[in-house]
Amino acid sequence: MLRTTRPRKSRTWRERTDMATEPMKEDISNMPISKADETADAPRTADAALRAEAARTAQAGPMAGKKNVVVLGVTSALGRRLAESILARGLTPVGLIGEAGHSESLRAAGTEPLVIASEADRTSPAALRAMGECGGIAVATGTGWGPDATDTSSTSLVGELMGVAQLVGIRRFVLVSAYLPDDELHTRLGDELESYLAEKRDVERKLAGHDLDWCVVRPGMLDNSPATGLVTVRGGADPQPEGTVSRTDLAETICEALFAPEPVRGVLAVSAGAQPIRAALGSVPQATVQPAWWCAEERAEGAAEKRADSPAS
Q: What is the mean pLDDT of residues 159-170?
A: 93
Q: What is the largest CA-CA distance in the chain?
A: 73
Q: What is the mean pLDDT of residues 193-217?
A: 87
Q: Is the pLDDT of residue 116 over 60?
A: yes
Q: Is the pLDDT of residue 303 over 60?
A: no
Provide the pLDDT confidence category of residue 308 given band limits of 50, 70 and 90.
low
**Looking at residue 30, what is its pLDDT?**
39
**Looking at residue 231, what is its pLDDT?**
98
Q: Is the pLDDT of residue 295 over 90?
A: no
Identity of the residue numbered 235:
G
Q: Is the pLDDT of residue 214 over 70?
A: yes
CA distance linking residue 89 with residue 73, whole number of Å: 19
Identity of the residue numbered 297:
E
Q: How far apart, in Å, are the Cα atoms of 13 and each of 17, 75, 151, 156? A: 6, 16, 12, 10
Contact 221, 48 (CB under 8 A): no
Q: What are phi and psi of 99, to 5 degrees?
A: -150, 160
Q: Which is higher by pLDDT, 233 or 291?
A: 233
Nearest to 82 by CA among 175, 157, 148: 175
Q: Which is higher by pLDDT, 96 or 179?
A: 96
Q: What is the mean pLDDT of residues 195-217?
A: 88
CA distance linking residue 25 with residue 77, whole number of Å: 9
Q: 272 forms bridges with which residues in the sheet? A: 231
Q: Which of 49-53, 109-113, 167-171, 253-257 has the lowest mean pLDDT?
A: 49-53
pLDDT, tens only, 32-51: 444 344 434 444 444 555 55
Class of domain 13-309: alpha beta
**Looking at residue 32, what is its pLDDT?**
41
The 3-class SS string of the chain reads: CCCCCCCCCCCCHHHHHHHHCCCCCCHHHHCCHHHHCHHHHHHHHHCHHHHHHHHHHHHHCCCCCCCEEEEECCCCHHHHHHHHHHHHCCCEEEEEECCHHHHHHHHHCCCEEEECCCHHHHCCHHHHHHHHCEEEEEECCCCCCCHHHHCCCCHHHHHHHHHHHHHHCCCEEEEECCCCCCHHHHHHHCCHHHHHHHHHHHHHHHHHCCCCEEEEEEECEEECCCCCCEEEEECCCCCCCCCEEEHHHHHHHHHHHHHCCCCCCEEEEEEECCEEHHHHHHCCCCCCCCCHHHHHHHHHHHHHHHHHHCCCC
As a whole number, the mean pLDDT across the chain is 75
pLDDT, tens only, 270-281: 999 999 999 999
Residues contacting residue 17 through CB under 8 Å, at least 6 positions apart = 97, 98, 154, 157
- Between strands 92-97 and 68-72, the pairing is parallel
**Looking at residue 10, what is its pLDDT?**
40
